[in-house]
Amino acid sequence: MKRVTVERRPAPVGRVVLERAADPHGHDPLSVARVKAAQLRQALATVAVVLGVLVGLPLLVAALDGPTGWAVLTLAAQPLWMAIAVWQLRRAERLER
Amino acid sequence: MLAAVLAGVAAVLVLSVVVGMVRPRRYATVEQFYLAARAVPPLRNGAAISSEYTSAAACLGLAGLIATHGSQMLWYPVGAAAGFVVLLALVVAPLRRSGTYTLSDFAQWRFGSSGLRRLTTCTVLVIGLVYLVAQFHAAGVVLRLLTGLPAWGGWLAVAVPAVGIALAGGMRSVTRVQATQFWLKLVVFTGCALVLWCTWRCLAAPEPLRVAGFAGPYEGAGTLAGAGDPSLPGILTVLLACALGTMGLPHIVVRVYANPDGRSARRSIVAAQVLLGVFFLVPPLYGILGRVHVPDAHSDEVVLLLPSMMLPGAAGNVLTGLLAAGAFAAFLATSCGVLVAVGGAVSSCVSRVSVTSFRVAVAVVAVAALGMAALTSPGSSVLLVLVGFSLSAATFCPLLVLGIWWRRLTAAGVVAGFVVGGGLTLTLVYADLVGLKAGLAAAYPAAFSVPAAFVAMVVTSLVTRGRVPGNVDALMARMHWPEDRSSRQDARSSF
């Protein structure tokens, strides 16, 4: 079992405080700041993909000027969201291992 | 048809109340009342989340909007499901690990400010009331259409059982009711859609699929502050509001608390994403059928008019009864979830937390929503709900995203963001309602108010940098550190 000690300091501005994870088992130390940064990178990548699809698909359809098959695209988006969600879940869980 | 409809609605009401009352528990404290939900497994919680999300707007309104406003509305189900991916990526696990129950609790926990708590509770109340009024109006429209009873009969048929379930059981029974209602909705709406679609494609004179041909909205198809606007900027604005607004819906966020830890909360959201992805394949089918068979109907009526138009006789009556049952399951699920969430937020804000104050708050919120339904006239449920999404995207989205990931956010920054984002959204919607010409901004409110709220929060926080909460690093550790890596004692000692 790892212990996290969280220091209380009077608000150091602009500096991230690294919590040292005392590590009795010799695994590589996992600090809150590092976990948070890794999770944030992953989350922003996922959100970027979602916003890209959300803005890109209607723009693409508008640019192609109405091929009859575009309505099918709106149905295909649902499996796409599921796939992105599963990908995000797996990546986020891996980052916490 | 009357008998089939009444039987369907009565069956759903009885089923919901019975499922909600099975093994009722007596909770001595509020913690027990809420914590009772902790044992909910991810799939059931995912079904409950989906159930709260598939309200009148998703079940009836989306299909009706596609029928009345044209094929561009096919993007709306895409946006409605996208919000959950953003919720999963940015909010769910840290919010669950914070251990706060409502959005107001989160604001107070993160910033230690009870003034901020009151501000967020007011915003939760506004969004919750918008949702409730949309459900009540849709129930009134449906009941009047199918049985000829006055609209307030529909309001009461939803409000009374919803309050009853919320008061009786607490989180656990609400979760069970909602999971049951989701499966009912999924089976009914998918099954009827397949029967009607096959009837149209196989039995009736098969006409070519002219999806691209119905591109335009009908004359006089209404819009509300950009929602329902088929132009490309209008669509993109609504998609943005959906993607960012989902995370701030009070009844969705409360559900996250029903999981024991951050990891299972994430899994619940993924389960909800999959279930919703299946469910949102259905509104386009009804929308296309509605465009062909029932032109010129009220958008919330389209789905329920289809069976009797396409299949006269007993088969049509049975399908109408089933759809009416599914629709009432939708009204009940969302109303119940919103009442529990808003009641929890309001009661813990105005008084010392107790089960009694929670129950009083639930009853007061329900009566307020009934009053507002009486004072307004029914429009399209989707357009009304999208106002709630815009408001949520301009207030709670920046609060949650910055509050979880940016340690330098201050209470003053949050207040500034709420005033700018929420104020701008409400002003623009009001200007649109009274017919004031507010130009481009009123046509696409979310596109302006969401960035403005983010900028206001960041700039004000940087100006008031001395007021960052002193324990912010402990709070960040609590939100981002996986539970199984730190012992319970450590998590406690960090406060």
Q: What's the rounded Cα separation, in Å, for the pair B420 and A10? A: 30
Confidence at residue B413, expressed as pLDDT on a 0 to 100 scale:
93
pLDDT band at A28 (very low <50, low <70, confident <90, very high): very low
Maximal C-alpha separation, chain B? 73
- Interface contact flag, A58 B274, Cβ < 8 Å: no
Interval A18-39 mean pLDDT: 60
Helix (H) or strand (E) holding A3: strand A3-4
Confidence at residue B214, expressed as pLDDT on a 0 to 100 scale:
54
| Chain B residues lying within 8 Å of A16, measured CB to CB | 407
Boundaries of every domain in chain A: 28-95
- Interface contact flag, A46 B267, Cβ < 8 Å: no
- Interface contact flag, B211 A77, Cβ < 8 Å: no
The answer to whether residues B361 and B346 touch, using CB atoms and an 8 Å cutoff, is: yes
- Interface contact flag, B243 A42, Cβ < 8 Å: no
The answer to whether residues B55 and B334 touch, using CB atoms and an 8 Å cutoff, is: yes
Confidence at residue B239, expressed as pLDDT on a 0 to 100 scale:
92
pLDDT at B170 over 80: no
Comparing alpha-carbon positions, the chain A residue that sits nearest to B288 is A71
Higher per-residue confidence, A33 vs A7: A33
Place of tokens 């209470």: B411
Confidence at residue B172, expressed as pLDDT on a 0 to 100 scale:
66
List the end-to-end C-alpha distance of chain A, in Å, as a whole number: 13
Give B366 to chain A, closest Cα distance, Å: 34
pLDDT at A22 over 50: no
Comparing alpha-carbon positions, the chain A residue that sits nearest to B88 is A85
| Chain A residues lying within 8 Å of B486, measured CB to CB | 2-4
Place of tokens 């299949």: B311
Chain A interface disruption, residue of B473, B475, B486, most A CBs within 10 A = B473
Q: Which of B71, B82, B281 sits opposite A54 (nearest CB)?
A: B82
Q: What is the pLDDT of residues B412-445, one digit of tens each?
A: 999 999 999 999 999 888 888 777 776 777 778 8
Q: Which of B236, B273, B405 sits opposite A81 (nearest CB)?
A: B273
Q: In whole angstroms, how far apart are CA B435 and each of B390, B440, B442?
A: 19, 14, 10
Q: B459 is written with which tokens?
A: 């700039």
- Interface contact flag, A2 B81, Cβ < 8 Å: no
| List of domains in chain B | 2-379 (1.20.1730.10)
Q: Which of B90, B469, B480 sits opposite A35 (nearest CB)?
A: B480
Interval A74-80 mean pLDDT: 87
B356 backbone φψ class: left, alpha, beta (φ>0; ψ -120 to 50): alpha
Give A75 to chain B, closest Cα distance, Å: 6
Q: What is the pLDDT of residues B60-115, one digit of tens each?
A: 888 888 888 887 888 888 998 999 999 999 999 999 988 888 888 899 999 988 88
Confidence at residue B90, expressed as pLDDT on a 0 to 100 scale:
93
pLDDT at B25 over 70: no
Chain B interface disruption, residue of A13, A19, A35, A74, most B CBs within 10 A = A74
Interval B290-296 mean pLDDT: 79
Phi and psi of B299, rounded to 5°?
-65, -30
Comparing alpha-carbon positions, the chain B residue that sits nearest to A45 is B89
Interval B361-386 mean pLDDT: 86
Q: Over chain B, what is the mean pLDDT?
A: 83
| Chain A residues lying within 8 Å of B274, measured CB to CB | 82, 85
